[in-house]
Chain A
Amino acid sequence: MYQSFIGLEIHIQLLTESKVFCGCTNRFGDEPNTNVCPVCMGYPGVLPALNAQAIRLSYVVARALNCEMSPQAVFERKNYFYPDMPKNYQISQFSSPLGRNGWIDVAYNGKTRRVRIHEIHLEEDAGKMIHAGDMSLLDYNRAGTPLLEIVTEPDMEFGEEAEILLQDFRRTIRYLGVCDGNMEEGSMRCDANVSVNLEGRGLGRKVEIKNLNSSRFVKMALNYEIGRQKEILDKGGKVVQETRLWNENRDVTETMRTKESAHDYRYFPEPDLPAFVPDAEFLAQVDRGLVELPAARRERFVKDYGVNEAAADFLINEKGTADFYEEVAALGADPGAAASWLQFDVRKILNRENRELAGSPLTAARLAQLLSLLSGGRIHGKIAKQVLEAVFAEDKDPGLIIREKGWEQMDDAAELAALVDRALAANAKAAAAVKAGDAKPLGFLVGQIMKATQGRAQPQMVQELLKEKLGI
């Protein structure tokens, strides 16, 4: 039978203030060619200078992906002629990239596979080129912005694993705060490579796939490509080693014409940049940049808070949500209740209003207060949901809301007794039926009292009072 070998090349744009080798602003969406200077425009006689934050973030990623961190990160010139790179070379790393031999675990189909990271290197991004008829438009705002490339070994077998790896990786870099991981906007980009061979025969002829704008497309393109290559081999044919493009309208990969010399970059050392040698102080800084990563946090949430896997998955997906959850729990809220409220009620409102938890009127303190009002019996479930809505609508504390609206639970026995008497008088028929042994109308009577109090009456007390008065 056949075996498939999948590897990924992931590029992420680092979240720095300035570009990697010059002091231009690093920002997406500005007017074309506003963030440019002689260095990133490739003017003669200029000198690049390495951005300290860019190299620090790079090492943080290398560390988080379990890489051996290079004692000497060397920069090289990767030569190629294309108008998106005004210098005619890209400053990149070749002989001594900053990270090597790392790994990332991918859990799929009940199995965990360790995917090796071949290397991680820091380079500069190219400018943007828009093809418009017989001319091309160039914007160099992105030229020279810090780009980190992560190359995996061809250790995966299924498109699904590649999709999961990308999702996990995206979560990790967002946790680390090094990149926002937006594949649609291109702050995270991915090329895939795949080969198919008879089992036990090692790698086949490698095909690279480009134009993958989401992790779902990566999965679809890889699975399509594996099928295509198997079919060729079935017919006794040979797979052509080439670069193919994913066509997202037709769900197929297509041949991309490339020059034969496209991969002959003639790397040579960048004479203008000394090698970067991380010292103890720098490595300590890198350590401080690490946070508890999503997989570890998921495990801890299940263990420490007793939440189920699905809830843990939801809670850890965004670091902000996980931090928020832990804050609510630390304020004394029941972890199970807090998880469930975040996963369902709060999420429902956020989705409806198309907003994020961060910066919303719901703070951890407010959710904790709401849950404490609920568990303390001061409000009951249905009112609690209304209070949550009101927190979002009015930006006030739950305690204040229930006081202002008079939503506090009615648990005064005398007050409730009077209401029960009134309900029994108004619904004599139902009362008589209950007395005669038919329990059904009891619920109706409770409902009448709940209605009369807009849901504020303490239901158990109402029920007990009713039973008492009806002598059952």
Chain B
Amino acid sequence: MDVSELKVTADLANIELGEEEFASLGREVEKMLDYFSKMMETDGMSLPSGPGRRAANRTRPDAVSGDADPDSLLENAPELEDRFIVIPNVL
């Protein structure tokens, strides 16, 4: 994989890397991509499942489940103010 392409990808993923890391990671990403292209060679469409190959659509009825516990989820927030999650300012 081209280093410049890797740099764009790292930037999009919000990952900061040094030049050395780019060099070593480049080789590793290359391996992954090779593996993916190998997988693409297989005939996925003949498998019984996969997007668009189900007998019926899987949807759920439009109803409120009411089983969530929002307060316990908020406990994991780093900082709260009047139920708002507070984070450093980002533009």
Interface residues of A (CB under 8 A from B): 16-18, 22-25, 31-38, 41, 43, 49-55, 72, 74, 79, 81-83, 130-140, 261, 264, 266, 269, 274-277, 279, 282
Q: Which residues from chain B contact A138 at a C-beta distance below 8 Å?
A: 84-87
- Which listed residue (B62, B73, B85) contacts A16, Cβ 8 A? B62
Main secondary structure of the interface of A (DSSP, over half): loop
- Which listed residue (A18, A52, A54, A133) contacts B89, Cβ 8 A? A133
Interface contacts beyond A23-B65, A55-B59, A139-B83: sample of 5 additional A-B pairs, CB < 8 Å, sorted by A: A18-B64, A23-B64, A32-B84, A52-B60, A53-B61
B62–A54 CB distance below 8 A: yes
A33–B90 CB distance below 8 A: no
Query: A135 to B59, alpha carbons, bound, how many Å?
Result: 39
B12 to chain A, nearest CB (A): 6
Most-contacted residue by chain B among A25, A72, A81, A135 (CB, 10 A): A135
Q: Which residues from chain A contact B61 at a C-beta distance below 8 Å?
A: 52-53
26 A-B pairs within 8 Å (CB atoms) are namely A18-B63, A23-B65, A23-B66, A23-B67, A24-B64, A24-B68, A31-B83, A32-B82, A33-B83, A33-B85, A35-B70, A36-B68, A36-B73, A38-B68, A49-B60, A51-B62, A55-B59, A72-B52, A131-B89, A133-B89, A135-B89, A261-B8, A266-B9, A269-B51, A274-B51, A277-B54
B88–A135 CB distance below 8 A: yes
Q: Which residues from chain A contact B14 at a C-beta distance below 8 Å?
A: 81
Q: Which residues from chain A contact B90 at a C-beta distance below 8 Å?
A: 82-83, 136
A316 to chain B, nearest CB (A): 29
B65–A137 CB distance below 8 A: no
A83–B87 CB distance below 8 A: yes
Query: A457 to B85, alpha carbons, bound, how many Å?
Result: 71
Q: Which residues from chain B contact A52 at a C-beta distance below 8 Å?
A: 59-62
Closest-by-CB residue of B relative to A36 is: B70
- Given A33-B74, A36-B73, verify A23-B58 contact (CB < 8 Å): no
A215 to chain B, nearest CB (A): 28
B-side interface size class: 20 to 34
Query: A23 to B60, alpha carbons, bound, how many Å?
Result: 9
B86–A135 CB distance below 8 A: yes
B3 to chain A, nearest CB (A): 16
Q: Which residues from chain A contact B86 at a C-beta distance below 8 Å?
A: 135-138
B83–A274 CB distance below 8 A: no
Contact with A along B71-87 (1 / 0, CB 8 A): 00110000001111111
Closest-by-CB residue of A relative to B58 is: A274
- Which listed residue (A54, A136, A139) contacts B88, Cβ 8 A? A136
Main secondary structure of the interface of B (DSSP, over half): loop
Closest-by-CB residue of B relative to A14 is: B62
- Which listed residue (B51, B68, B89) contacts A136, Cβ 8 A? B89
Query: A135 to B88, alpha carbons, bound, how many Å?
Result: 4
Q: B34 at interface (Cβ–Cβ under 8 A)?
A: no
Q: Which residues from chain B contact A266 at a C-beta distance below 8 Å?
A: 9, 12
Closest-by-CB residue of B relative to A20 is: B62
Query: A459 to B70, alpha carbons, bound, how many Å?
Result: 71
Q: Which residues from chain B contact A261 at a C-beta distance below 8 Å?
A: 8, 11-12
Q: Which residues from chain A contact B82 at a C-beta distance below 8 Å?
A: 32
Closest-by-CB residue of B relative to A49 is: B60
Q: B57 at interface (Cβ–Cβ under 8 A)?
A: yes
B15 to chain A, nearest CB (A): 10
B88 to chain A, nearest CB (A): 6
A193 to chain B, nearest CB (A): 23
Most-contacted residue by chain A among B14, B84, B89 (CB, 10 A): B84
Q: Which residues from chain B contact A43 at a C-beta distance below 8 Å?
A: 73
Q: Which residues from chain B contact A24 at a C-beta distance below 8 Å?
A: 64-65, 68
Interfacial residues of chain B within 18-36, with CB under 8 A of chain A in the complex: none
B59–A276 CB distance below 8 A: yes
B62–A18 CB distance below 8 A: yes
A274–B12 CB distance below 8 A: no
A276–B87 CB distance below 8 A: no
Most-contacted residue by chain B among A52, A79, A130, A131 (CB, 10 A): A52
Q: Which residues from chain B contact A131 at a C-beta distance below 8 Å?
A: 89
Query: A135 to B65, alpha carbons, bound, how many Å?
Result: 33
B89 to chain A, nearest CB (A): 5
B57–A17 CB distance below 8 A: no
B87–A41 CB distance below 8 A: no
Closest-by-CB residue of A relative to B74 is: A33
Query: A130 to B87, alpha carbons, bound, how many Å?
Result: 10
- Given A36-B68, A136-B86, A261-B11, verify A51-B59 contact (CB < 8 Å): yes
